[in-house]
Chain A
Amino acid sequence: MNSVERVHKATGFQLFWAMVWARAYPRIVGSLRERSWVFFETILPLMGTAGYVYVYRALNAPPQYVGFAVLGGAMTAFWLNVLWSMASQLYWDKDQGNLELYILSPGPVMAILVGMSVGGLFMAATRAVTIIVICSLAFNVAYQIVSVPLLILTFFLTMAALYGMGMMFASVFLAAGREAWHLSNLMQEPIYLASGFYFPVKELGGIAATGASIIPLTLGLDAMRQLIFSGGPSSGFLPVTLELLILAALSAIFIYGAQGALKKLEEIGRREGRLIERRK
């Protein structure tokens, strides 16, 4: 056999991170190249948010309610991203022939999902910040931040749990096949209500709010409102510390669940000859 010069290939943790950033890249670059999102993902949610602001003003609600609606409107960007660009993504990737190549690559597919999350988080964050800036200026929202580090921790724990859930849903939705589209549609609007995107979730009552807490944005939003608005704590559902603990637990459960679901998916795919293969 001839002496052949071979290319060095990373393994282990190095490979994992190489995959994460490689998969995040299309989303980061895509959000900068595809400018139509400014209209569809910023202006449209902004109009919905503005509707709630005017309702609160007409009813002479306490001023923090305007801030609640603006924050909720901004967070819709993350929820939509998780539903349409995380949960449904493996299904689209299968259709396009990418999933097969992900499975074929030597690294864990979990790295692909983490990469999708990182890229998705970047995409959604640009939209959320745009909504917050425009609405804050337009409606003169007053912020009174209790603790910046705690706020940052809350945001990132919420995102970890939310995107962990998105990663887990990615496998579940893939198994659901064409129904994935309907599942996403089915989950979009009801969660706006259940998670209290435009009002304090406490108003739903203890049982409903507890049930809705399975969606990480419910407690995340509630904790963030308590941390950045002067009247926030009085409208809070649970103490912030408890909400953070629950979010941490949800993050662990969803990420572990995502790993398990992915493993199961590949196992079924290899055994039954479906799920991961594109039909030509």
Chain B
Amino acid sequence: MTVAPVATPVVSVDEPKVENVKGSKADMNQSLAIETQDVTRVYKIRGPKDKNAPSELIALNGVSIEVQRGELFGLLGPNGAGKTTLIKILATLLLPTSGVAKVDGYDVAKDTTQIRRNISMVSGGETSGYGLLTVEENLWMFARFYGLESAVARERIGQMLEVVGLADRKKTKIADLSTGLRQKMNFVRGFISDPNVVFLDEPTLGLDVSAAREVRGFVKDWLKQRPDGTILLTTHYMAEADELCDRLAIIDEGKLLALDTPLALKRRLQREAVFNLKVSPLGPRPSKEAMIETVKGVRQVTVNEVNSHVEMSLILDGEDALTGVLAHLSARGSNLISLEKREPTLEDVFVEMVGRGLNEDTSKRGGGDE
């Protein structure tokens, strides 16, 4: 799947043009597409029921990142971690409470017009557009909002629909599209305006495996076509982050915990032993806390109940700690079904850092925005 180049009237640009509008100057550090310095965002909680309940929620706490042009940068964290808040700040939809954030060299607090001209955003589960319009008409409408000429918009729409495999649905009303097809259309909307920076907020949320794969392929191809384009992706799908991102920031409860390439992040666990265990508990269910407290060498554990058995992911100091784990489980009446040693994943990195899995929802830690 490739993103076809556009043959219609275009402007040839060797370097992104930096405009000075109304005295507002873009940062001349052109290598950075996104830059945040100590960005904090505090939400006021309106009318807390309990007098002792907090009246504020710190959604982001002093987050500093730098994203190079041409980079696919990932924000990884559970629901409520602050990912969406950061994206909304960068997309000029929210103001930071403190700190500085720049996109394309422009300040998000002051230079909204300049930023908006060259960014776009696609969110998972998006239902934007008007159901009475066809796929082509909806995309045309949004393209015109960015000032694309009508004919250019139609040509780009045709080409991009071809790329995502939606060409045969061009004349279908969007009310008649499935979730997957609608999300593909949203993707085309996000890229139709030829942005410099694209924010993808959980873009594959709710998509089936094949649609998610196609969407990821689209993203990779776009970056090949636009080597100076930048994508900031939020996700809580580990495999997606691992496959797509050049670098990743792990974020939890508003704080930046780590920032590195996926490989480097996983290397942090290379000295440890990572195992998957499947047990059939006849006695009490295996507990994470009990195992960490009582078995020597157990660093982190996640426990998932699947039907009649329990799946566990273990990070151990070394392989020799496994004997203690098996003895502990056996003493509590659990039968071992399978045992597998595996390579560390980003999920393990996250568990090691915060002590819980990514799927554990923290969005209710005080009325979060996400």
Which residues of A come within 8 Å of B, CB atoms?
Answer: 1-11, 14-15, 18-19, 21-23, 25-26, 29-30, 33-34, 96-98, 100-107, 112, 269-273, 276-277, 280
Flag if B113 contacts A106 (CB, 8 Å): yes
Chain B residues 51 to 106 lying within 8 A of chain A, measured CB to CB, are 69, 85, 88, 91-95
User: With contacts A18-B147, A22-B145 known, what are 17 further pairs, Cβ within 8 A?
Assistant: A2-B227, A4-B228, A6-B13, A7-B193, A9-B148, A10-B147, A11-B117, A18-B145, A22-B144, A23-B141, A26-B141, A29-B133, A97-B126, A97-B128, A100-B93, A271-B95, A273-B41
Cα(A111)–Cα(B64), bound, Å: 36
Residues of A within 8 A of B128 (CB): 96-98, 100-101
Q: A29 contacts which chain B residues (CB < 8 A)?
A: 132-133, 137
Does B356 touch A at the CB level, under 8 Å? no
- Contact in complex: B226, A272 (CB < 8 Å): no
- CB pair B137–A106 under 8 Å, yes or no, is no
Q: How far is the CA of A8 from the CA of B132 in the complex (A)?
A: 29
A26-B141, A104-B91, A277-B88 given; A272·B132 CB < 8 A:
no
Is the beta-carbon distance between A19 and B149 smaller than 8 angstroms? no
Inter-chain contact A105/B6, CB cutoff 8 Å: no
Q: Tell me if B228 and A19 are in contact (CB < 8 A).
A: no
Q: Assess whether B44 is in contact with A272, with CB atoms less than 8 Å apart.
A: yes
Q: Would you list which residues of chain B between 270 and 314 have a CB under 8 Å from chain A?
A: none
> Residue on B with the closest CB to A102?
B145
Residue of A nearest to B116 (CB): A106
Which residues on B sit within 8 Å (CB–CB) of A276? 93
> What is the CA–CA distance of A277 and B43 in the complex, to the nearest angstrom?
14
- B233 sits at the interface (CB 8 A): no
Q: How far is the CB of A20 from chain B (nearest CB, A)?
A: 9
In the docked arrangement, what's the CA distance between A112 and B68, Å?
34
Q: Is the CB of A8 within 8 A of B10?
A: yes
Contacts A/B (CB < 8 Å), 14 sampled: A1-B227, A2-B228, A3-B14, A4-B226, A4-B228, A21-B144, A22-B140, A26-B132, A26-B137, A29-B132, A105-B142, A106-B145, A277-B94, A280-B123
In the bound complex, residues from chain B placing their C-beta under 8 Å from that of A112 are 145
In the assembled complex, the Cα of A43 lies from the Cα of B41 at a distance in Å of 53
CA of A273 to CA of B145 in the docked complex: distance in angstroms? Answer: 23
Contact partner of A98 among B10, B69, B129, B147, CB < 8 A? B129
Verify B227–A8 contact, CB threshold 8 A. no
B94 in complex: contacting residue of A9, A22, A107, A270, CB < 8 Å? A270
Query: Who on chain B is nearest to A270 by CB?
Result: B95
Give B226 Cβ to nearest chain A Cβ, in Å: 6
Nearest A residue to B142, CB-CB: A101
B237 at the interface (CB under 8 A from A): no
B residues near A22, Cβ cutoff 8 Å: 140-142, 144-145
B140 to chain A, nearest CB (A): 7
On whether A105 and B11 interact (CB within 8 A), knowing A2-B227, A7-B6, A273-B43, the answer reads: no
A8 to B226, CA, bound (A): 16
Does A1 lie within 8 Å of B69, measured CB to CB?
yes
- Which one of A2, A6, A30, A105 lies within 8 Å of B145 (CB-CB)? A105
Interface size class of B (residues with CB under 8 A): 35 or more
Mostly, the A contact residues are helix
- Collect the chain A residues with CB atoms within 8 Å of residue B193's CB: 7, 9
A10 and B93 contact, Cβ closer than 8 Å, known pairs A2-B227, A98-B128: no
Q: Which residue of B lies closest to A103 (CB)?
A: B93
CA distance A273 to B227 in the complex (A): 33
The verdict on B194 contacting chain A, using a C-beta distance below 8 Å, is yes
Partner of A11, one of B125, B147, B227: B147
B130 touches A9 (CB 8 A): no
A197 to chain B, nearest CB (A): 29
Q: Which chain A residue lies CB-closest to B84? A: A280
B12 CB–A CB distance under 8 Å: yes
Residue B120 lies at the interface, judged by CB distance under 8 Å to chain A? yes
Residues of A within 8 A of B91 (CB): 104
Interface residues of B in 104-135 (CB under 8 A from A): 113, 116-117, 119-121, 123, 125-130, 132-133
Would you call B247 an interface residue if the criterion is a C-beta within 8 Å of the partner chain's C-beta atoms? no
> CA–CA, A272 to B56, complex, Å?
12
Asked whether A8 lies within 8 Å of B11 as measured between CB atoms, the reply is yes
Q: Mark B13-49, 1 if CB is under 8 A from A, else 0.
A: 1110000000000000000000000000101100000
B370 within 8 A of A: yes
The CA of A5 and the CA of B227, in the complex, are separated in Å by 12
In Å, the complex CA distance between A103 and B283 comes to 57
Q: Which 9 A-B pairs have the closest CB atoms?
A: A10-B147, A22-B144, A9-B147, A105-B145, A106-B117, A7-B194, A97-B128, A15-B147, A106-B116
Distance, CA A76 to CA B120, complexed state (A): 40
Minimum CB–CB distance from B27 to chain A (whole Å) comes to 16
Q: A273 to B370, alpha carbons, bound, how many Å?
A: 11
Instruction: Please state if A5 and B92 are interface contacts (CB–CB under 8 Å).
Output: no
Minimum Cβ distance to chain B for residue A272 (Å): 7
* A7 and B129 form a contact (CB under 8 A): no
| Residue ID in chain A nearest B128 by CB atoms | A97
Task: Report the separation of the CA atoms of residues A2 and B226 in the bound assembly, to the nearest whole angstrom.
Answer: 8
